[in-house]
Chain A
Amino acid sequence: MASGRRLRTTVLVTLVVALLVLLSLLSVALGALSVPLDQVVRSVLGHPPSRLIDNVIWSVRVPRTLLGLTTGAALGLSGALMQALTRNPLADPGILGVSAGASFAIVLAVGVLGATSLYGYVWFAFGGALVASVVVFFLGRLGRSGATPVKLALAGVAVTSLLQSFTSAIVLTDQDALDRYRFWSAGTLADQDSGDLVRILPFLAVGAVLALSCAPALNSMALGDDVAASLGRRLGLVRLQGVTAVVLLTGASVAVIGPVVFLGLVVPHIARVLAQWVGIGPDYRWLLPLSAALAPVLLLSADILGRMVDRPTEIQAGVLVAFLGGPFFIVLVRRRKLAEV
C-alpha cells in the first residue's frame, strides 16, 4: 500500500526529528546546574533570564549538545557503512578496531611527537584508523571460509588489544598524558574545546557526503558482488569510497570525543527494524540517513543519563553506550543465525 507506506514514513521522520529536538533541549537544560525548559527556550531565542544561565547554556551546554549530534551522527553512519561494506551484522568502528587505531595514533602524536592542536593530530587519527581497518579486514579474511562475522570480530579484538598495550606503554611513562588520556579514552562529550567541534566539521561533512553517495551502490552490493559488478558497479571504487568515509567519520569523532564502542553497532540494527516497519525494506538510501539520525538520539540520551545518575560527577557517555550496547550485542549473537546482512 503506497499511501500507507508514505504515511508511516512521514510519521517515522517526524518522530525522529521530534526526538532529536527534545533530547537537544534536555541536553541543554539538564546537568550540574539544571535550567528549566522554558528558560532554555527563552535563552535560545535571545532573551536570557540571567547572565549565569546564558553563560552556562552558550559556552558549555550548546557546544556539548552540538558535539553529541555531529559525532553521534558520524559514528552511526560509519557503523551502518561498515556493516554494509563487510556484510557483517557485527561491524562497528569500535569492535573492528578502527577506533583503537585512531586513538593509538592520537596518543602517539600527542604523547611522543608533541602534537598539541587538533589539526596536528587528526591526520594521525585518519592514518591509524585506515591502517587498523585494513589489518583487521585482512586478518579477518584468514582461512578457507573468508571473512565471517566471528573472524572479523576476533581480528578487531586482537588488533585493539595490541594497540592498547602500545598505548599503555606510552601513557604509563608520562603522568600528564595519563591524566588526560584516562578521561578521553572512556569516550566523553564533557569538557571539550568547542573550537574542536568547528575544526572537525569539514572532515565530517566530506565523510558524510562520501558515505551517503555510496548508498545506491551498496544496495546493488547487497545482492552479492557478482550481481553488483554485472549491474555496472565498480566494486573497488565503491569500497575505496566507503573506507575513506569510514576513516574520516571515525577518525574525526575519535579525535574529539574518544573511542565509543557499540554505537555504530546498535543503531543500524534499530534503523533496519524501523525501515522494515515503515515498509521501506533494506534500502541503504534510507538506512544510512536513518542511522545518522538515530545515533545522536542514543549518544545524547547516554550523555544526559550520565550527567543525571551520579551527580555531581558524571559517567562518560561512552561507558553508558557500551553498557546499553553490550547486552544488545549479546542478544544479537544469541538470536540470529549470523548470516550476512
Chain B
Amino acid sequence: MSAPPAALSNRPFRLTFPPVSGVLRPRLLLTGVGVAVGAFLLFCWGLTIGDYPVAFTDVIRALWGSGDAGTVIVVQDLRLPRALVGLLVGVAFGVSGAVFQTMTRNPLASPDMIGLTEGAGTAVVAAVVLGWTGGLGLSTLGLLGALATALLVYALAWKGGATGYRIILVGIGVSWICSSATNFLVARGNRFEAEAALGWLVGNLNGRTWSQVDSLAIALAVLLPVTLGMGRWMRTLMLGDDVAAGLGTPVQPVRLALLLAGVGLVAFGTAAAGPVAFVALACPQIAQRLAGTSSPPPLVSGLTGAFVVLGSDLLAREAIPGTELPVGIVTGALGAPVLLWLLIRVNRAGSGG
C-alpha cells in the first residue's frame, strides 16, 4: 500500500481544556461522509421510481411533507417504507458484520456464515410449510429463530469461555444442520409453499410496510449506540484475548455483549427483509479498504451496508424492466467479485483461526 497523502494521514491531538485527546482520522471521516451522501442519494433515487414517476426535487420536498398532496402520499405512504427498510437493514447488517469480523479476527466470519440467518430461515420456512405460526408473524419467527440459533451456538462453543475460533466452527456446524432442515421442509411442502419459502430465503424488499420499519428502527435505536460504544474494547479484542485482558478489557463479558448486539442487529434485519446475502460479509471489508483502517470500522460499515442494499434494490428493480428481482439475488451476485477481491488481496487479509 502506498503512503496516503499528508492531508489524509492520521493526526493525534490533545486539548488541555476540555481534557480530551484522540486521533483525528481524516480519511475515515471523509469516507464516512462520502458513503453517507451516496446512500442518501440512492435512497431518494429509489423513491422516484415506480408506476407514478416523481421528480427528484419533488421527492425531497415530499419527504418534508410539503408539495403536492398526491405526491406526498405516494412517497411517504407507499415508497418510504421500502426505502427505509432497505436503509436500516443495510446499516444493521453492515454493523453486525463489522462486529463479528472484528471479534473473531476473520474477514469471512460474518453472521450469515455462522448460521444465524440459516436459523432464522429454518424457523420461517417451518412456519410456512407446517402452517403453524403460533399467532406470531413471520418476522417475529425469523427473529426468534436467529436468537435461538445464536444462543445454541454460544452454548455449544462454551468450554470455560468461548473463543472466536470455536464460535465460528460450531456456527458452521449448526448452520449446516439448519440448512438441511430447511431443505427437508422445502421438499416436504407443496410447490406454492416451497416457492414462498424460497422467496423469503433469498431476501426481499418488496411490499414492506411501516410496521416493519418501526420494529427495525426501535431495535437499531437501542443496539446501535451500544455497539458503537463498545468500539474501543472491540479494537483491543483484535490483539488477541490475552493482550486485550492485559489492556483492561473484560474479555468474556465484552465478547458476550458484542455477540448479543451483533445477533440482535442481524436478527431484526433478517426479520424485516429476509437474509440479504453477503451484505454482512462484504460491506465491512469494503468499508475497511475505503477507509484504510486496520479493522472494519463499524459505523462506516453500516453506511456502506445501506449504500449496497439500496443500490442493489435499485438495480434489482431497474435491471430487467417489468420484473422485480429479490434484492438478495443482486447482493449475492455482487458478493462474487468481493470474494475474488479477498482472494487477490492475500497480504492484507487477517489471520483469524
Chain A residues in the interface with B (C-beta under 8 A): 90, 94-95, 135, 138-139, 141-145, 148-151, 153-155, 157-159, 161-162, 165-166, 168-169, 171-172, 175, 178-179, 182-183, 185-188, 261-262, 313, 315-316, 318-319, 322-323, 326-327, 329-330, 333-334, 338
Q: Is the CB of B329 within 8 A of A333?
A: no
Which chain A positions have C-beta within 8 A of B277?
A: 161-162, 165
CA distance A318 to B112 in the complex (A): 22
Say how far A99's CB is from chain B's closest CB, in angstroms: 11
Which chain B positions have C-beta within 8 A of A161?
A: 112-113, 277-278, 332
Partner of B350, one of A143, A322, A326: A143
A162-B277, A172-B199, A329-B176 are contacts. A150–B352 as well, Cβ < 8 Å?
Answer: yes
Q: Is the CB of A333 within 8 A of B173?
A: yes
**Interface: B201 (CB within 8 A):** yes
A149-B353, A162-B278 are contacts. A143–B346 as well, Cβ < 8 Å?
Answer: yes
Chain B stretch 184-234: residues in CB contact (< 8 A) with chain A: 184, 186-188, 191, 194-195, 198-199, 201-202
**Interface: B38 (CB within 8 A):** no
Which chain B positions have C-beta within 8 A of A142?
A: 107, 342-343, 346, 349
Say how far A7's CB is from chain B's closest CB, in angstroms: 37
Q: Is the CB of B184 within 8 A of A179?
A: no
Q: Is the CB of B176 within 8 A of A139?
A: no
28 contacts between A and B (CB under 8 A): A95-B172, A135-B343, A138-B343, A139-B108, A139-B339, A139-B343, A143-B346, A143-B349, A148-B353, A149-B169, A150-B353, A154-B106, A154-B172, A157-B175, A158-B113, A159-B339, A162-B332, A162-B336, A162-B339, A169-B329, A171-B198, A178-B191, A179-B194, A182-B183, A185-B186, A185-B187, A319-B180, A319-B184
Partner of B353, one of A94, A151, A158: A151
Q: Quick one: closest B residue to A313, CB to CB?
A: B188
Q: Which of A154, A183, A315, A316 has most chain B Cβ within 10 Å? A: A154
Say how far A163's CB is from chain B's closest CB, in angstroms: 9
Q: A151-B106, A158-B113, A329-B173 are in contact. List 18 more A-B contacts (CB 8 A).
A: A95-B172, A143-B351, A143-B352, A150-B353, A162-B332, A165-B331, A175-B195, A178-B191, A183-B187, A185-B187, A186-B183, A316-B187, A319-B180, A319-B184, A323-B180, A330-B156, A330-B173, A333-B166
Q: Is the CB of B183 within 8 A of A316?
A: yes
**Interface: B14 (CB within 8 A):** no
Which chain B positions have C-beta within 8 A of A162?
A: 277-278, 332, 335-336, 339
Q: Is the CB of A154 within 8 A of B335?
A: no
User: What are the 7 tightest A-B residue pairs by CB atom distance, in nearest-first order?
Assistant: A165-B332, A150-B353, A322-B180, A326-B177, A186-B183, A154-B108, A329-B173
**Interface: B256 (CB within 8 A):** no
Chain B stretch 150-166: residues in CB contact (< 8 A) with chain A: 156-157, 159, 165-166
Q: Is the CB of B346 within 8 A of A315?
A: no
Partner of B351, one of A95, A144, A155, A166: A144
Chain B residues in the interface with A (C-beta under 8 A): 106-109, 112-113, 156-157, 159, 165-166, 168-170, 172-177, 180-181, 183-184, 186-188, 191, 194-195, 198-199, 201-202, 277-278, 281, 325-326, 328-329, 331-333, 335-336, 339, 342-343, 346, 349-353
CA distance A285 to B20 in the complex (A): 68
Say how far A128's CB is from chain B's closest CB, in angstroms: 14
Q: Quick one: closest B residue to A319, CB to CB?
A: B184
Q: Is the CB of A261 within 8 A of B180?
A: yes
Q: Which of A161, A171, A315 has most chain B Cβ within 10 Å? A: A161
Q: Is the CB of A154 within 8 A of B113?
A: yes
Q: Is the CB of A169 within 8 A of B113?
A: no
Say how far B281's CB is from chain A's closest CB, in angstroms: 7
Say how far B298's CB is from chain A's closest CB, in angstroms: 21
CA distance A327 to B156 in the complex (A): 10
Q: Is the CB of A333 within 8 A of B170?
A: yes
CA distance A169 to B333 in the complex (A): 10
A155-B108, A172-B195, A334-B170 are contacts. A182–B186 as well, Cβ < 8 Å?
Answer: yes
